[in-house]
Structure 1
Amino acid sequence: MKIAGVQIDVQLGEVDQNLQMIIKSLEETTAAGAHLTLFPECALSGYCFESRDEAAPFAQSIPGPATDQLTEACRRLDCFTVIGLLELEGNDVYNSAVLIGPEGVIGKYRKVHLPYLGVDRYTTPGNDPYQVFNAGGLRVGMQICYDASFPEATRCLTMLGADLVVLPTNWPPGAETTADYCINSRAVENGIYFMAVNRCGRERGFQFIGRSSICDPFGKTLAKAETRDVEILYAEIDVERARNKRYQRVPGKHEIDRLADRRPEMYIALTQPHGLSTPHAELKGK
């Protein structure tokens, strides 16, 4: 099947304008044969808010007005989409991503790892268990931006059966190496497709860097944005490649399976909260 990523220029606080741009782009990608289309982080609202009070009026419930309109578009176009938005629940504002199809909202994800940047300085950290969702036969896991810097998150989604992990982002200057190397690494180390879609344009002094990309289960780049401007990426994917974790490079002599070859009993340190792991002074050899 074909997937698409739309690198767009989001306008801060212009929810209706951004939504119409998203729907128009979705019409274009679906006409080109895309089964699923990914849009950037906070594509509905923009990102560089200076307080929770400033951001909250542009947050919506899920389901809500925007997801209702996107459901109608997905029903009309017979497609699936993932967009980033600010989600409002009670007094909490979350940086979220939502997967929508012809039947409505399929699932959502709340950003777990929050950097000290933009609206993430004021949002509530996500604490829902990782989940994988079915988008018309495609098993999709969601992350958001900074989450890609934590390989444990992608591994969790892989263990849950993801064929594709999508990463809506707002990469500013300084994130070039994340864009150029982390995405391919997350794909190859888990044997999955990985699609990261950044925004473009400028917002409150931040010039977003583009560099959206789609990678295959061997870490090969299938498509990459060539500019910092508006751009659409497409790639053909084969879910069976993502589901076959055993690679026979030389049958009987060189075979690997990055899931079966794991040693979870050796990873105890990963489960310790920050600051509670073995102090350097106590390490063997000191």
Structure 2
Amino acid sequence: MKIAGVQMDVALGQPAANLAKIISKLTETAAAGATLTVFPECVLTGYCFDSREEALEHAETIPGPSTQRLAEACAATNSFAVVGMLEAAGDSLYNAAVLVGPAGVLGSYRKVHLPFLGIDRFTSYGDRPFAVHAADGLNVGMNICYDASFPEAARCLALQGADLIALPTNWPPGSECAAASAINTRAMENGVYYIAVNRVGEENGFPFIGHSRIADPTGATLATLPHDNEAILYAEIDLSRVRNKHYVRVPGKHEIDRFADRRPHLYGPVIEPHGLMPPGRTDSDSELAN
């Protein structure tokens, strides 16, 4: 199975133009044989809004008008897409990613870990458990950007059977180490394919670094875009390889199974409340920390 990542520029507050570009790129990647194409974080709307009210003008429900257009494009190309967007849900605003296929929305994700940056200063914390969704036999888990800095997020998806973790992201300067190291580490420690797709260009004074990449279950880099230009990266993935978590290097002498070798009864401190206040957040925003 071939997958693709579209590293592209985004127009802030212009979802119609961004959607047209997304569909054009999806048509291109599907023609090149990609079954699944991943796009950046907030690719539909842009990221660097200066207020919640400004961002809400461009947020949509899931499903909604844009996901319907995406489903039509997936049906026309017989492919699937992971797309970053802003989700309006009642009175809440979420930084979200959606998995869409020919039949419509297959799953969505709300960003759990929020940095004090861009639209994440004004969105609500993701409020749903990590989940895995099937796309043409491929089990897909979704995280978004800053989530990759928290190994628990990827581990939850891997334990639920994810073959691939898709990370739409908006890495600004300062994220070079995450781009170069965290993606391969998350792939290796969970034995999964991991695709991180960043945007390029600039919004409200914030540039974005590109550096999208795909890593295999051993942590090796399959494809990378080591620059901040628009481009597409591709990789072939092997489901039989990712579903074997027991690595036999020397039979009876050197065998590795990172799931069987876990010792969860010693991991209690990982899930204990910390009571700390995230920068720029209020008490009501921080309930999940307590």
Same fold (TM over 0.5): yes
% identity of equivalent residues: 62
Partner of 1:162: 162
Partner of 1:176: 176
1:91 is displaced (CA, Å) by 1.3
| SS of residue matched to 1:58 | coil
CA distance in 2, matches of 1:191, 1:241: 9
1:226 is displaced (CA, Å) by 2.9
1:274 is displaced (CA, Å) by 1.4
Specify the code of the residue in structure 2 equivalent to 1:83: V
TM-score by length of 1: 0.96
Partner of 1:13: 13
Partner of 1:128: 128
CA distance in 2, matches of 1:275, 1:95: 23
Partner of 1:150: 150
CA distance in 2, matches of 1:241, 1:19: 34
Partner of 2:75: 75
Partner of 1:233: 233
Q: Does 1:249 align with 2:249?
A: yes
Q: Does 1:204 align with 2:204?
A: yes
1:85 is displaced (CA, Å) by 0.1
CA distance in 1, matches of 2:150, 2:185: 11
Partner of 2:280: none
CA distance in 2, matches of 1:10, 1:275: 36
1:240 is displaced (CA, Å) by 1.3
CA deviation digits over 1:168-213, x for unaligned, max 9?
A: 0000000000000000000000000000000000111111000000
Partner of 1:284: none
1:275 is displaced (CA, Å) by 4.2
CA distance in 1, matches of 2:77, 2:145: 28
Partner of 2:268: 268
1:22-171 to structure 2, matched below 5 A, reads: 22-171=22-171
| SS of residue matched to 2:9 | coil
CA deviation digits over 1:15-72, x for unaligned, max 9?
A: 0000000000000000000000000000000000011001000000111110000000
List runs of 5+ in structure 2 lacking aligned partners: 277-290
Partner of 2:284: none
Partner of 1:259: 259
1:227 is displaced (CA, Å) by 1.9
Specify the code of the residue in structure 1 equivalent to 2:197: V
TM-score by length of 2: 0.94
